[in-house]
Chain A
């Protein structure tokens, strides 16, 4: 069974940092790109970042570029999101999702975790 479990969210002050983790299981982790997607309270979905299966390629939404860093440890089937210089508008539930097979042209985002909440407030 494919499963993603996020952790690491919490309450942080503006300007602070948090590192989110996502433990993946049930598939060959290194063969898939992985994404982070967030959802502010009562709002829609916003794609945040994607990392290739090897970890060699990363892409970010303009809203987080230069502040967030995506990474992965294929030996542990773990995905990470380092979030720095947090702002109130970063308050959201952060989901990790299995994105697409290595070398694939299209996005699937077929499996999602239950999310972890980051609240940025003083």
Chain B
């Protein structure tokens, strides 16, 4: 069973830039894993941000971007806003099951 690993927590200052990563226990994450990213705030359902590595949904703010970085999937937030404080989850679909990462709690401080 694939294990997907994310940073448990990160802190960023308002207006700053932060990169969250998503690693697979089976090896390098490639575009063939079609990485997805989701944002979840307390008491709310998850909201999709990025699909297929770097594609944004129509509602995804421009400051969010997805990429591959050093064998991992990455989500970069540029010009962080206070409302970006949330839990972020990646999902990998590397030809088998869909597997979520454990989530990254992003604090904006």
Instruction: Name A's B-contacting residues (CB within 8 A).
Output: 35, 37, 44-47, 50, 59, 61-62, 95, 105-115
Q: Please report whether the interface of chain A is mostly helix, strand, loop or mixed according to DSSP.
A: loop
> A110 and B100 in contact (CB under 8 A), knowing A45-B89, A62-B1?
no
Give which listed residue, A45, A59, A110, A114, contacts B57 with CB less than 8 A: A110
A-B contact pairs, 14 of them (CB 8 A): A35-B98, A44-B87, A44-B100, A45-B46, A45-B103, A47-B99, A59-B97, A61-B97, A95-B46, A108-B36, A109-B48, A109-B91, A110-B51, A112-B48
- B87-109 with Cβ < 8 A to chain A: 87, 89, 91, 93, 97-103
Cα separation A37 to B100 with both chains bound (whole Å): 10
- How many cross-chain pairs have Cβ atoms below 8 Å apart between A and B? 61
Identity of the chain B residue whose Cβ is nearest the Cβ of A98 in the assembled complex: B48
Is A106 touching B34 in the complex (CB atoms < 8 A)? yes
Residue of A37, A106, A113, A115 most packed against chain B (CB within 10 A): A106
Whether A45 contacts B38 by the Cβ 8 Å rule is: yes
The secondary structure that dominates the B interface is strand
B residues with a Cβ closer than 8 A to A are 1, 34, 36, 38, 40, 45-48, 51-52, 57, 87, 89, 91, 93, 97-103
User: Which chain B positions have C-beta within 8 A of A61?
Assistant: 97
Contacts of B89 in A (CB 8 A): 44-45
* CB-nearest residue of chain A to B31: A106
Known: A112-B45, A114-B45. A107 touches B51 (CB 8 A): yes
- How many angstroms from the CA of A110 to the CA of B47 in the assembled complex? 7
Query: Contacts of A44 on B, CB cut-off 8 Å?
Result: 87, 89, 100-103
Question: Which single member of A62, A105, A108, A115 contacts B45 (CB below 8 Å)?
Answer: A115
